[in-house]
Amino acid sequence: MDIKMPSVGESIESGLIGKWLKKEGERVQSGDALCEIETEKITTEIYAEKEGILHILVKEGSEVKVGQTIAQLEELPSGKMEPEPRASIKVEKEEKTVLEPQKESIEPVKKEEEKEKASVEAPLMRPSRITKEEALELIEEEKEEKEEKKEANKLEPFALGPQEKRKPLSPIRKKIAQRLLEAHIGTAHLTTFNEVDMSTVLELRKNYGKRFEEKFGVKLGLMSFFVRAVVEALKKIPEVGARIEEDELVYPSTLDLGIAVATEKGLIVPVIRSAENLSFAQIEKTIQELAIKARSGKITLEDIEGGVFTITNGGVFGSMLSTPILNPPQSGILGMHAIKERPVAINGKVEIRPVMYLALTYDHRVIDGKEAVSFLVLVKEFIEQPASVLLEV
């Protein structure tokens, strides 16, 4: 059975074999992930349709065209009753070379498999009252810990040598470079800044965060507040969500907002559909699900296309201030930054408040300075006084 490079989008003609998740000659089950495919837009996985023995035809790092055969799956004989456990296969191979008794060699393997199985099944054997959202949260926390460890490893000193090292750009990195250059050359981009007092939002999270999580099974984060703030601002200043198509200005019918997510492969911007119709809990759940898909390489083209405005949070990496780059054909992007305690003048007195700097980069061909500044002020007002907007007063 041939395993071919799938079509993952109309405009994508080829991809890169990023990593084989199974080894040559390994027995795989139906539904097992075989390899990672990197394209200019997404990284996805190819799965086995049947049980069989894998024979790899294309090496890691090779570029393949859509429809090209990258591996073959040797199907098992149909008359076979039950597949032998992998431990038995491993023992038989060892017996041929080492000639050890089967009993002595299979026991450690079985124990190792039992430990591995127990570690995999452990999260599933929690009390029945655990919810799907809590399970997703556990998975996300584990992924975040792994990401932090990987980031720590990346910060280790680079091994210098007598010669330069060269590494080919991945399709995603090539696409990112191309789009950044297009945004820089093809738009009249300008950035305006403001600062926002985060006291009210932090107080809300402190007072209601636990009850929110218990009721909805997801944490109350900062992003849901900014998504709602952007939605309210876009309703009043729709030009910020518009785009240029030839000689026309196109206004969207729904507010589909992109949320930038950092992954090993680069920055991916999955889209929250119809954000204007979502509650805080629905926004948080959607962001969590999209982030898990993006970081696990299971994001689809449908998840990342069609956004009208983007929000990016450099504050999670410690950024104090930056000028985010537009995500064409969008006309605006909001940059969030780190929250720092700063001295602020309140009613003639100096107080220490948690402050975040905001940056709005916009396409000056579509949006005038007055509209851009007004948009950012509306976002600021919502974050500092969300009750007035939510109560419509």
Q: Centre a 10 Å sphere on the Cβ of residue 215 and count the other Cβ atoms it contains.
A: 10
- Check residue 19 and give its pLDDT: 81
Q: Answer with the one of 17, 44, 75 that is the final residue of a domain.
A: 75
**Pairing verdict, β 257-259 and 261-263:** unpaired
**What residue type is 126 in one-letter code?**
R
* Residue 114 domain flag: no
| In a shared domain, residues 213 and 327 | yes
Distance CA 272, CA 4 (A): 31
Pairing of strands 332-336, 309-313: parallel
- CATH code at 9? 2.40.50.100
- Spatial separation of the C-alpha atoms in residues 6 and 280, rounded to whole Å: 37
- Among 48, 75, 102, the domain boundary falls at 75
Active-site residue 364, yes or no? yes
Q: Give backbone dihedrals phi and psi of 335, rounded to 5 degrees, phi first.
A: -105, 120
Q: Is residue 132 part of a domain?
A: no
CB-based contact 311:259 (threshold 8 Å): yes
Would residue 85 count as lying in a domain? no
| Closest-CA residue to 353 (of 323, 383, 328) | 383
**140, part of any domain:** no
State phi, psi for 16 to the nearest 5 degrees.
Answer: -120, 135
Domain count, the chain: 2
Q: Which pLDDT does position 337 carry in this prediction?
A: 96
> What local confidence, expressed as pLDDT, does residue 287 receive?
93
Whether the Cβ atoms of residue 245 and residue 193 lie closer than 8 Å to each other:
no
- Return the structure tokens found at 337: 């930054």
The domain that holds 184 is classified in CATH as 3.30.559.10
Q: Are residues 176 and 69 in the same domain?
A: no
Range of the domain at 47: 2-75
Q: What is the pLDDT along the chain (393 residues), one digit of tens a residue?
A: 888 888 766 567 778 787 888 888 889 988 888 888 877 667 778 888 888 899 988 888 788 888 888 898 888 766 444 444 444 334 333 444 444 444 444 454 444 555 444 444 433 333 344 566 656 666 666 666 556 545 544 556 767 778 887 777 766 677 777 777 877 788 889 999 999 999 999 999 999 999 999 999 999 999 999 999 999 999 999 999 999 998 899 999 999 999 998 877 777 889 999 999 999 999 999 999 998 888 887 788 788 888 999 999 998 888 999 999 998 889 999 999 999 999 999 999 999 999 999 999 999 999 999 999 999 999 999 999 998 777 765
Q: What is the pLDDT of residue 385?
A: 92
Residue 86 lies in a domain: no
Residue 363 a catalytic site member: no
Q: Are residues 239 and 349 in the same domain?
A: yes
18, 58 in Cβ contact below 8 A?
no
Q: Are 36 and 19 in contact (CB under 8 A)?
A: yes
Handedness of CA 356, 362, 364, 369 (dihedral sign): negative
Residue 167 belongs to a domain: no
The answer to whether residue 141 is domain-embedded is no
Q: Which of 2, 55, 184, 364 is catalytic?
A: 364
Cβ contact 311:226 at 8 Å: yes
Query: Can you tell me the distance from the alpha carbon of 324 to that of 314, in angstroms, rounded to the nearest whole number?
Result: 9
* pLDDT on residue 146: 58
Out of 60, 75, 90, a domain closes at: 75
What 8-state DSSP symbol labels residue 338?
-
Locate 270 and state its tokens.
């999955």
Do 179 and 61 lie in a common domain? no
> What is the pLDDT at residue 86?
44
b/e burial code for range 237-265 (CB count within 10 A of at least 16 → b): bebbbbbbeeeeeeebeebbbbbbbbbeb
Kindly name the residue from 2, 55, 184, 368 that is annotated as catalytic.
Answer: 368
Q: Is residue 308 part of a domain?
A: yes
